[in-house]
Amino acid sequence: MEMLLVLIPIAVVLRLAGANPAAVFLVSAAAIIPLAGFMGRATEELARHAGPGIGGLLNVTFGNATELIIAFAAMQAGLMDVVKASLTGSVIGNLLLVLGLSMLAGGMKWKEQKFSIRAAGTYNSLMVIALIGMTIPALFFYAGGSEQARQNASVGVSVLLLAVYALAMVFSLHTHKHIFNPLADDKEAPAGWSRQKAILVLAGSAVVVGLLSEILVGSVEQAARSLGLSDLFVGVVIVAVIGNAAEHGVAVTVAMRDKMDLSFAIATGSSAQVALFVAPLLVLAGLAIGRPMDLFFEVFELAAMGLAVAAVIMVSQDGESNWFEGSLLLSVYLMMGIVFYFHP
């Protein structure tokens, strides 16, 4: 696996040389694989030191930093539809694709896997609140609000969503951290890596993944155009999956090691962070750089996110998972992917 690291400089050279977009895409995608493995190992080591809740938070934060960088670059280029579609894709992708693959892979090895019902309930509640915040601007517009008023409303809602995210951090990392770190007080085998080494590996991997993700986005967009794919499909499926590739690998890897608490925290925590932190931050950043962006999403995008949240709530009520529940989430994601593919 580590031999694939040699593909990182090759991907950069291919991009600078203006090579065929398909070649750039394939090489860059393969180069991300070992980095995902490093991020998985580093996250596990941090989880051993601080518990699955904080380990999962660190992972989604580094993973979504890549998403934020890609989205900000697209915003500067004026590709607002792609930015919004990638946010939608990140939410439904983490909830359905990542969590589904994690439950399926973990369930194939372990008959039943358990995770904290209370922690899952908190993540689910955050997603419901985030969904409300992302729906209100659209309802306001359809009720007759002007575009300027919609922009102003989006700014106000974004500030509130950021406040909710800050409160969630205080809740999960301070006042109620015992809910999200059930293993923090358990006696486990000593970690193979020090805390400092794990943080450095995680941060370094995230930086390189960010670079490769930008290369991937640039190449896949050109390839998509030649195949006649829509901006919505490119943003929701391709850009979102690529931008979160490292997190996907981490969540599945830890699930196969029977650490569903950490896997669930990564998948649902990432979706919550995108909706409560990344999206509102992009709205405020766009205002600052003169590229205003609002929280107005298409009806189908909102419906897809709502259905994804409902599906996760349904399968997480008992605090147990198995391969069948994972296959159910994956089937919902594939259904949505088919419709997004044919969406004009």
Lookup: tokens for 65: 């930093």
Instruction: Say which CATH superfamily domain 2-342 falls into.
Output: NCX, central ion-binding region (1.20.1420.30)
Contact predicate 85/237, CB 8 Å: no
| Widest distance between CA atoms in the chain | 60
Q: Please give the Cα distance from 161 to 124 (Å, whole number).
A: 15
Find tokens 């205003």 and name the residue.
292
Of 140, 138, 131, 96, the C-alpha closest to 275 is 131
**What's the mean per-residue pLDDT of the chain?**
83
The residues of the chain scoring below 70 in pLDDT are: 1, 40, 44, 47, 50-66, 181-191, 220, 227, 242-247, 344
Say what the pLDDT of residue 266 is: 84
Determine the angle formed by the axes of helices 117-142 and 260-273, rounding to 10 degrees: 20
Say what the pLDDT of residue 228 is: 76
Say what the pLDDT of residue 188 is: 46
Q: Indicate the helix (H) or strand (E) that contains 321.
A: strand 320-321
Residue type present at position 143: A
Report the sign of the C-alpha dihedral through residues 85, 88, 94, 96, in that order. Answer: negative
Q: Is 15 helix (H, G, I), strand (E, B) or coil?
A: helix
Q: Indicate the helix (H) or strand (E) that contains 67.
A: helix 52-76
Lookup: tokens for 234: 């490119």
pTM: 0.80
> Residues near 169 by Cβ (< 8 Å), separated by ≥ 6?
57
Say what the pLDDT of residue 185 is: 47
Q: Please give the Cα distance from 80 to 243 (Å, whole number).
A: 16
Q: Is 320 helix (H, G, I), strand (E, B) or coil?
A: strand
Distance, CA of 192 to chain centre: 27
Q: Please give the Cα distance from 32 to 35 (Å, whole number).
A: 5
Say what the pLDDT of residue 331 is: 96
Contact predicate 54/173, CB 8 Å: yes
How many C-beta neighbours within 10 Å does residue 168 have? Answer: 21
Contact predicate 267/102, CB 8 Å: yes
Say what the pLDDT of residue 57 is: 66
